[in-house]
Structure 1
Amino acid sequence: MNKRLALFFLIMFVVGTDTFLISPLIPTLQKQFHISTELSGWMMGAYALGYALFALIAGPLSDGWDRKKVMIAGMVCFSAATILCGFATSFWTMFLFRFLAGVSAAFASPQVWAAIPALFPPNKIAKAFGITTAGLAVSQALGVPIGSWLAVTNWSYPFFVIGAGSLLLALLIAFIVPELKPAQDAGAPSSLFGRYVPLIKSGTARGAFLAYFLFQFGNFAAFTFIGKWLTDRFGISVGAVGGVIVFLGLGNLVGSFGSAAIINKFNRFNTMAGAILLLIVCFLVLPHLPALAAVAAVYLIIFAVLGTIFPLMMGMLISLNPAVRGTISSLANSVMYGATTAGAWVAGLLYALFNGFAAVGLMTAVSMGASLLVFMASGVLAVQGAPKEAAKLNNNKA
């Protein structure tokens, strides 16, 4: 793993840790701020909302700027906002600081995905996507649980540690990443929102992004309340939840590193279809398992499958139009965090209304089934579909 790839891995690690940190802390923060279950999901949703809204602007802007400078500025602001979360005194101050952290991340992390095709040869791109995605997996396997264990002493500590780490990464970006000026994406539309025109005109792109939204809506609806459900169902502590997530995150890590090999063996259509069908079965069965060990085993499968198909999804989306990689990457992240916001809110309502996780699991299964159907209808899963669509999009550039 070269220095740049290791740096991208670490950036996704700290961003992923910050993104998912609220999930195991919800029971603690719910008591700390005296808020309801329905409202508690918004502590994760606030970050996602800030990201989703501002990524729509950050993407087109970054396609016209030096990606390195955008990445550094985003990480510095992300560090400050995350540290401020540790000083939150109420639900609304936490909401504000989480929102600002999401806005900052919207300028930082998409640059990583957009930079990969510019910095690595074509035969190494799939591997680079997999290793970078593994940073997110490790954030679940180690970052989130470490945050949970730090929170046992004081819930503020994880935010301080993540903020300090993010600032260090901003310094490393300055020394390791070369300039990535817009000339590397020659041929992109010049106007800010004109960069979205090729995507809006493409039926394949519209379908792919809708399918991605449906998938992440179900995925994050289920993930947001994993900590609360494990606490309510099995009576375990926040620290114990961290231990369970270590186990689950290892599955995600294995899936991320093995993603390229699996896709090469089975092709993108078979990999996506088989993975989503397996996830549907798992989420339908999960809420009804009687023992923590059985729940952990099924979640291990879920996380391994998610680790396998996330690089596939990102690779398909990025390949739609090489001229606007930053716009596509930011839009993909905006869609993901928009889905996270909606999923966290709906999951909170369902969890409270039906007093448990069964309704959330059912909703996740239905969302993922709909996602697979839309992916298939869009044509993006065809083995040669994305490259053909990329050429079509380039011919339609505004």
Structure 2
Amino acid sequence: MVILLTGAFLPPLDFFIVNVALPSIREDFQATASTMQLIISGYATTYAVMLITGGRLGDLYGRRNVFLAGMVAFAAASALCGFAWSPAALVVGRVLQGFAAAIMAPQALASINAIFPDHEKSRALSFYALTFGVASMAGLFLGGALIALNILDLGWRAVFLINLPVIAIAAPSAMMVLRETRSEHASKLDVGGAVLIALALFALISPLIEGREQGWPIWSLLMLAGCLPLLFLFWHHEQKVEAAGRDPILAPRLVRTPGLKRGLLAAFFFYAFAAFWLTFSVYQQGGLGRTPFEAGLAILPAAVGFVLGPFASGYIFHVFGRYSTAAGMSLEAAGLFGTAALVSFGAPEFLYVALFFVGAGQGIALPNLVRTVVQRVDTAQSGLASGLVNSMLQIGGALATALIGGLFFSVLGSSTDVISIGHAYSIAAVAIAFCLLIAGWLSAGLGAKKEALR
């Protein structure tokens, strides 16, 4: 379990930890703002685009084998980032990191679903969700700490090189401990489907991440317009592959699994929460004048709630049953409404209570949501289901950051005072809360156990 959770921990950690290091990287390389954006978006885009294909690779070629390959590739890419001699080399390293993360991460969730017996699976998925959230929050603290400590005079390079000793222990352990699992009817990879879905997701996610930063240039709008035709071509191709008796990368019959589409759509709306990190950070640093490390400390109540939330999942399930996911999302939304009210009425010193509810709600909702989606499909398709749910989370997060982040900055305008920033944050927090309520409505009544195909 620890080895699998290491593979789940590193990808989100390496997304958030770099945000703290960006000022140091910019000063060291004298890099442009567009290069700084590429350091973030190169990783995020590649990771989101390749998750579905990465999950399917584990089903076909063995989840342990693919997990190890992804982990070794992630270490190599981290080394390239840590020893980068130019901004271009760092951007290439980040893209390769995203690719490796997309190969490694789905195998963790898929292996948990395939290896652990039913009576242990609920607790295992709770630990998985806990790791996912803690990695996001730990990035803010660990990045600042590593740069402040300046170990061996490495500066910002330590945020990448810290991955090497971790993987040096985890990879050999995985070879000795992990049991190999794969689809019983494994066939060749549907290369055409893999290329089409990657192109479609790239056309969707890249402009969402880059477009807002660059003022929505024409290329971003053209890519968004081209996304739907690419998705149509992908779906038509998958139907042809399935009709021919071959194994598509995303079987149309899988999508017809009862409740799966609702669960995936719930995951899409649920991760609108990703916009919270942007807006709350701007409020803390731009409005209240806190340092990045102090802003990280400010979210500690949410971190505590997130840690405790999964351990309350059993009690929540006993009380709410199939509505447990919706209950967690409702609690999270209530916490966000609370932060909006406290900031609007000028009482930020009481934010810790509302932030605790935000974290606890997410800690309850995420493991239940993941379980709802992954356990609806056969174990043979666990890798694909893992890639699907992670991909929907990433797409939802990218879209929410673009749209709700755009709303935040539109409301803020050119103002820089704490009242204006607080007002913009409150509106963004309410928008995120409504997305969570939609996710809760979609997930309401969905059981955790898989149902038979229609």
- Structure-1-length-normalised TM-score: 0.82
Larger RCO, structures 1/2 (Cα 8 Å, 6+ apart): 1
Query: Match for residue 306 of structure 1?
Result: 362
Structure 2: distance between partners of 1:107 and 1:23:
23
Give the secondary-structure state (helix, strand or coil) at the position aligned to 1:181: coil
Shift of 1:121: 1.5
Change in Cα spacing, 1:198 to 1:26, as seen in structure 2 (3 Å) is farther
Query: Match for residue 326 of structure 1?
Result: 383
Change in Cα spacing, 1:85 to 1:134, as seen in structure 2 (3 Å) is same
Query: Match for residue 265 of structure 1?
Result: 319
Task: Give the partner amino acid of 1:171.
Answer: P
Task: Give the partner amino acid of 2:276.
Answer: A
Task: Give the partner amino acid of 1:328.
Answer: A
CA contact (8 A) 2:257 2:377 kept: no
From 317, 331, 335, the equivalent of 1:275 is: 331
CA contact (8 A) 2:147 2:158 kept: yes
CA contact (8 A) 2:129 2:363 kept: yes
From 129, 136, 141, the equivalent of 1:133 is: 129
Shift of 1:39: 8.4
Query: Match for residue 162 of structure 2?
Result: 161
From 240, 246, 249, the equivalent of 2:303 is: 249
Shift of 1:67: 0.3
Q: Does 1:205 align with 2:260?
A: yes
Shift of 1:287: 4.5
Query: Match for residue 93 of structure 2?
Result: 97
Task: Give the partner amino acid of 1:343.
Answer: A
CA contact (8 A) 1:17 1:143 kept: yes
Query: Match for residue 288 of structure 2?
Result: 234
Counterpart mapping for 1:2-151 below 5 A = 5-25=1-21, 43-88=39-84, 93-140=89-136, 142-151=138-147
> Which protein shows a greater Rg?
2
Q: Unaligned regions of 5+ residues in structure 1, if any? A: none
Structure 1: distance between partners of 2:407 and 2:398:
14
CA contact (8 A) 2:55 2:386 kept: yes
Structure 2: distance between partners of 1:313 and 1:80:
33
Query: Match for residue 225 of structure 2?
Result: none
Query: Match for residue 192 of structure 2?
Result: none
Aligned length: 381
Task: Give the partner amino acid of 2:126.
Answer: G
Structure 2: distance between partners of 1:363 and 1:70:
39
Give the secondary-structure state (helix, strand or coil) at the position aligned to 1:155: helix
Q: Does 1:335 align with 2:400?
A: no
Give the secondary-structure state (helix, strand or coil) at the position aligned to 2:444: coil
Task: Give the partner amino acid of 2:452.
Answer: A
CA contact (8 A) 2:58 2:64 kept: no
Task: Give the partner amino acid of 1:181.
Answer: R
Change in Cα spacing, 1:282 to 1:79, as seen in structure 2 (3 Å) is farther
Query: Match for residue 381 of structure 1?
Result: 444
CA contact (8 A) 1:58 1:330 kept: yes
Which range moved further: 74-83 or 346-355?
346-355
CA contact (8 A) 2:45 2:98 kept: yes
Task: Give the partner amino acid of 1:129.
Answer: L
Kindly provide the CA deviation profile for residues 328-351 of structure 1, in whole angstroms up to 9, marking residues without a partner as x. 100111122222333334455444
Counterpart mapping for 1:327-366 below 5 A = 327-346=384-403, 348-353=405-410, 354-355=412-413, 356=421, 358-359=423-424, 362-366=427-431
Kindly provide the CA deviation profile for residues 347-394 of structure 1, in whole angstroms up to 9, marking residues without a partner as x. 5544444254644553453354245435535xx53254x54x6302xx
Change in Cα spacing, 1:40 to 1:196, as seen in structure 2 (3 Å) is farther
Change in Cα spacing, 1:309 to 1:181, as seen in structure 2 (3 Å) is same
Shift of 1:130: 0.7
Change in Cα spacing, 1:320 to 1:47, as seen in structure 2 (3 Å) is same
Shift of 1:9: 3.0
Give the secondary-structure state (helix, strand or coil) at the position aligned to 1:56: helix
Give the secondary-structure state (helix, strand or coil) at the position aligned to 1:179: coil
Task: Give the partner amino acid of 1:307.
Answer: G
Shift of 1:6: 2.4
Structure 2: distance between partners of 1:69 and 1:47:
23
From 263, 276, 286, the equivalent of 1:222 is: 276
CA contact (8 A) 1:214 1:368 kept: no
- Structure-2-length-normalised TM-score: 0.73
Structure 2: distance between partners of 1:28 and 1:331:
35
Q: Unaligned regions of 5+ residues in structure 2, if any? A: 188-241, 414-420
Structure 2: distance between partners of 1:286 and 1:223:
17
Task: Give the partner amino acid of 1:263.
Answer: F
Kindly provide the CA deviation profile for residues 39-63 of structure 1, in whole angstroms up to 9, marking residues without a partner as x. 8666444322111111121222221
Shift of 1:185: 9.0
Structure 1: distance between partners of 2:341 and 2:47:
32
Change in Cα spacing, 1:242 to 1:368, as seen in structure 2 (3 Å) is closer
Shift of 1:159: 1.4
CA contact (8 A) 2:334 2:433 kept: no
CA contact (8 A) 1:231 1:237 kept: yes
Task: Give the partner amino acid of 1:235.
Answer: G
